[in-house]
Amino acid sequence: MGGRKMSSCLEEVIPKCLLLTIWAFLLLARNGAEAFHRLATTEELQKVPPATITNRTGFHFQAPKNWINDPNGPMYYNGIYHLFYQFNPKEPVWGNIVWAHSYSTDLINWKPLEPAIYPTKPFDINGCWSGSATILPGNKPVIMYTGIDQQNRQVQNVAYPKNLSDPYLREWVKPDYNPVIRPEGDINATAFRDPTTAWYGHDRTGVLYRSRDFIKWVPAKQPLHSVKDAGMWECPDFFPVLMKPLVGLDNSANDNGLKHVFKVSLDANRYDYYTLGIYDFIHDKYVPDGSSPDNNTGLRFDYGNFYASKTFFDEGKGRRILWGWSNESDSIEDDWGKGWAGIQTIPRAIWLDGNGRQVVQWPIEEVNKLRGKRVGIYNRSVESGGVIEIKGIESVQADVVVKFDVSSGLDKAEKFDVAWRDPQKLCFEKGADAKGGIGAFGLYVLATDDREERTSVFFRIFQLGQKHVILMCHDPTKSSKSSDLYKPTYGSFVDYDLRRSGGKLSLRTLIDHSVVESFGAYGRTCITSRIYPDYAVGSNARLFAFNNGAEDVKIVQLRAWEMRKPLMNGA
């Protein structure tokens, strides 16, 4: 992770220490790794054809080939961005995991380096799993990661740059005093992983540890936060947020009344959940503010294919950046055929919404540098049942920003049933073809000319008393002709006041061959889908605006850009 340089806690008059969060919960049905940690068999390897670029993304982060998963230890250090990530250097499935390493000066163009951490010592000989980075006093980065030791226990280890004068931090050293934290007492040694970025606090971690030197760690008397019957938590994150667009804070910021985000990746369903709350610096307790459930029905960074996310503080631009892993949703056999699996979503700036109830996310500004040829539509109505093709660009790799106006028909919105508690289920039941009062309306992306193959990104508006409920959906059920693909419909309610906005509702969608990332209401709701068209590929991909509601919808402004391909790890 990383952040501003921190003064040595040994020099403080009031005792302070670094805090580390490591989650060790016993209430799990299985080891959380089983969902994707799979080794290739010899028979499978012999069947693997040469790697292909079928549906390979153009501007999303990925390795030249093989499997990737969790983003690890992202940080900004001496003017350079570093991203480490879980990587299988041999095969396009999970296994043989190392910490791959890439660097960038703009978070868009990436160059690969040799793996930073790989199994070599007794404390990580069976695996080098996820972790984080922290900038220590003296401007010295340190990585803490989970190693699988000779006894197959999950232990926590540290690694340091071999040469701080190397601007790219190519080599990392693992001290022999590792592991610095072992699973002891009633901690399950097979479910004790993914340390998060350390921060300074008042002598005070779900298990919290404290340290003065990053070598000797002592468990706290109580957890930072706990939830009964929560299942297996992975990849925790804990950081402060400001109610200022695009502005972030270092992990150690401790102003009174500052809101914090407490996020976990829930192994049971492979989604990331978070709450907002207050961090008690004196007693080392995090207390959710109650604005959303503290369970698997609560807030999510992304309501689609997005997991194991990680943030870091970008000191260079004073913002907090969120990374997330998006796994493939095709078959293992398809991944063997492609020769690659897994991407990272577009890095997003993240901050606290003005209503204080949720975070807002937006693609980092550097993404705009990839924009090329542009087309637009302005002040045009999409009639009930109407479709408008957006022509003039190759939309297989595009950035589309549109503002809709539904003000004229708000009183015709369908009545909302309070029994509709699951937005993802509602998106499935009321898909893009289901006609309502206002909606479905939005975009058909990666579509064929006849729209028989398409992915639908859309809104639907409901009336609830004097207020309106906004449903945002991804419907990929017609995204390809193939029947053996996983094509889940994703959705969420959008916390946004249409009356205050004058009936205006925005949508931004990044389209990149096999990934569609959408940001509704200026980033208040985000959805990512992985799709694999059979025919809507390359120059055959089409882009449409559509309206299947009874009321007309106006496009105030639609702008769409072709996106150039950046440098991407040599691929």
511-558 per-position pLDDT tens digit: 999 999 999 999 999 999 999 999 999 999 999 999 999 999 999 999
Residue 258 belongs to a domain: yes
Q: What is the pLDDT of residues 232-243, one digit of tens each?
A: 678 899 999 999
Q: How far is CA 357 from CA 74, 290, 292, in A?
A: 27, 9, 8
Strand partners, 200: 18
- The verdict on 407 and 424 lying in the same domain is yes
Higher-confidence position of 309 and 6: 309
Chosen domain end from 363, 381, 400: 363
**Range of lowest pLDDT (67-71, 159-163, 205-209, 389-393):** 205-209
- The verdict on 421 and 358 lying in the same domain is no
Q: Say yes or no to pLDDT of 22 above 60.
A: no
> In terms of residue numbers, what domain contains 32?
9-363
Residue 237 belongs to a domain: yes
Q: What is the pLDDT of residues 216-271, one digit of tens each?
A: 887 776 777 777 666 667 889 999 999 999 999 998 887 777 999 999 998 778 89
- The verdict on 326 and 396 lying in the same domain is no
**What percentage of the chain carries pLDDT values higher than 70?**
88
Q: Say yes or no to pLDDT of 5 above 90.
A: no
- The verdict on 379 and 490 lying in the same domain is yes
Chosen domain end from 340, 363, 386: 363
What is the CATH classification number for the domain harbouring 228? 2.115.10.20
Q: Say yes or no to pLDDT of 149 above 60.
A: yes
Q: What is the per-residue pLDDT for 45?
A: 37
Residue 569 belongs to a domain: no
Number of structural domains found in the chain: 2
What is the CATH classification number for the domain harbouring 437? 2.60.120.560
- The verdict on 423 and 286 lying in the same domain is no
Q: Say yes or no to pLDDT of 30 above 50.
A: no
- The verdict on 87 and 51 lying in the same domain is yes
- The verdict on 450 and 315 lying in the same domain is no
Residue 570 belongs to a domain: no
Question: Annotated catalytic sites, by residue?
Answer: 70
Closest C-alpha among 27, 33, 19, 18 to residue 308: 33
- The verdict on 406 and 453 lying in the same domain is yes
CA distance 249 to 313: 6
Average pLDDT, the chain: 88
pTM of the model as a whole = 0.90
Chosen domain end from 339, 363, 387: 363
Residue 1 belongs to a domain: no
Q: Say yes or no to pLDDT of 43 above 90.
A: no
Residue 3 belongs to a domain: no
- The verdict on 431 and 347 lying in the same domain is no
- The verdict on 357 and 376 lying in the same domain is no
Residue 2 belongs to a domain: no
Query: How many CB atoms neighbour CB 95 within 10 A?
Result: 14
CA distance 338 to 103: 25
- The verdict on 311 and 377 lying in the same domain is no
Residue 396 belongs to a domain: yes
Residue 421's contacts (CB-CB under 8 Å, 6 or more residues apart) are none
CB contact at 8 A, 146 and 174: no
CB contact at 8 A, 261 and 241: yes
- The verdict on 309 and 439 lying in the same domain is no
